[in-house]
Amino acid sequence: MKDGRYLRLMVAFGFLWIIQPTSANAAATKDDIKSAIVQIFVESIAHDDVHPWQFKKIASGTGSGVIIKGNQILTAAHVVDNAISIYVRKTGSHRRYKALARYIGDASDLAIITVDDDAFFHGTSTLQIGTLPKLGDAVTTWGFPKGGSQVALTKGIVSRIDFYEYAHSGFDNLVCQVDAAINSGASGGAAVVDGRLAGITFQSLNNDSADNVGYVIPVPVIKQFLEDIQDGEVNGVPAIAIRVAHMENPHLRDFYGMTASTGGVLVTDSQGEPENEMNAVKVNDVLLQIDGFPIGNDGTVPFQSGDRINALFYITKHQIGDTIPIRILRERKEVVIDYALKYTLRDVMLITRHFSGFVPDHEVVGGFVFLELNEDYLENIYGEYASPDWMGKLSENYTRQWWRDKETAVFISSILADEVNIGYDAFEERRVVRVNGTEIRNLDALRQAVIANKSRFHVFEFDDPYGQIVLDRQLVIERAPIIKDRYKLGD
């Protein structure tokens, strides 16, 4: 389960098995589907969010997965997150087989795990990947939710198709909402429509007023992931690092030269875009079309359901390295730019989003533990409670000038008590903006500012008028091995 801002989304940690149809185009029977669903057993361990040189307790969990072509098991990424051991069991078997997480796509919450022992696949089937279902389609979900040991089946309908937040990564992407129950342990299981894989179950709405609201990772997201890994690595889901404003107000539209029949959104922030690149999006551009689809004044585009969906959907369908046409209104003239999809949101976010195996970078100076702010810290430390104002304000921002200098927010996560830092207890959770006169844009800049300093004192400044930390440089050096040994900091 994700805490903090994502408390409303409950990740259902589970696995699924699928069976191979008798022919390439045949819809799978219930027996076929059941034999393609697998149960996944995971032992995992993560680094401590405040003291990254330490580990949390080893956690045990189960999930679901489904066998697809090539003897690959498709599951949800959060099922195998931080895994140190993975075993799988096929439906009807008592034996567990050792497995390996081959590919993990955190942004789309999908993963491929493999089993080297071919005996595992004897008597199993593969499930054919179908298409994006339609509203009202009957859907069955298969997996191993908690509450029993056997494979479980639930029935419902596709009640909504939307662009919504993925709890695992914090990014938005296409989802199918279903009214079939998706409980803890079922994540990674199969959602089946007309005998074909329509999606992977992965989270549910955790809300007292909402019953049986589950979410499925649909086929377009699955296909983007499977195409992505064809080159042997996960490049991720492409993004465009801009902010836009709706243009429903007629005076705003008239000011930018839009006609009554023209839809579009105004670019208000392009911090993630190179300033001098010809095909970059710029502030005060009006986005009219994306990938050939006209954009409405509310930032949506026409969708197959007969409704509309966030225009960013047509970016997430592509691969890193693709180029798409974007029609814009720039200084009242329409132009089409060939926009290159070169980066993901993870590349440009000021606050690092979660990804599997994440190890927070840190530096200890004079007993002060400096971290780069990340979503794991925010969610796991504060939970549903409000974090400090500066953290909340930064948590949704894009980094500036990412293509030249990766900017992050550096702060003090904890203070390891020692004589060198007496009297500075109140400086926990303060953002560092300058060290010895050097602007701190990331943790490496802090390290360099400390190493380069030859004066008597280290001076740390913060983003509010709360004061300064001044440390005796020589005492910092002398106390470093003592602090390291006392707090078991490691190498």
DSSP state of 427: G
Q: Do residues 296 and 425 make contact, with C-beta atoms less than 8 angstroms apart?
A: no
Q: Do residues 412 and 427 make contact, with C-beta atoms less than 8 angstroms apart?
A: yes
Gap between the Cα atoms of 124 and 136, Å rounded: 30
Instruction: Report the candidate in 176, 186, 197 with the shortest Cα–Cα distance to residue 152.
Output: 186
Contacts of residue 159, Cβ cutoff 8 Å, sequence gap at least 6: 135, 177, 178, 179
Gap between the Cα atoms of 281 and 417, Å rounded: 48
Gap between the Cα atoms of 462 and 388, Å rounded: 14
CA atoms within 13 A on the CB side of 59: 14
Gap between the Cα atoms of 186 and 148, Å rounded: 11
Gap between the Cα atoms of 152 and 201, Å rounded: 13
Contacts of residue 389, Cβ cutoff 8 Å, sequence gap at least 6: none
175 membership: H or E segment, kind and range: strand 172-178
Which amino acid type is present at position 153?
L
CA atoms within 13 A on the CB side of 465: 0
Active site positions, annotated:
78, 109, 187
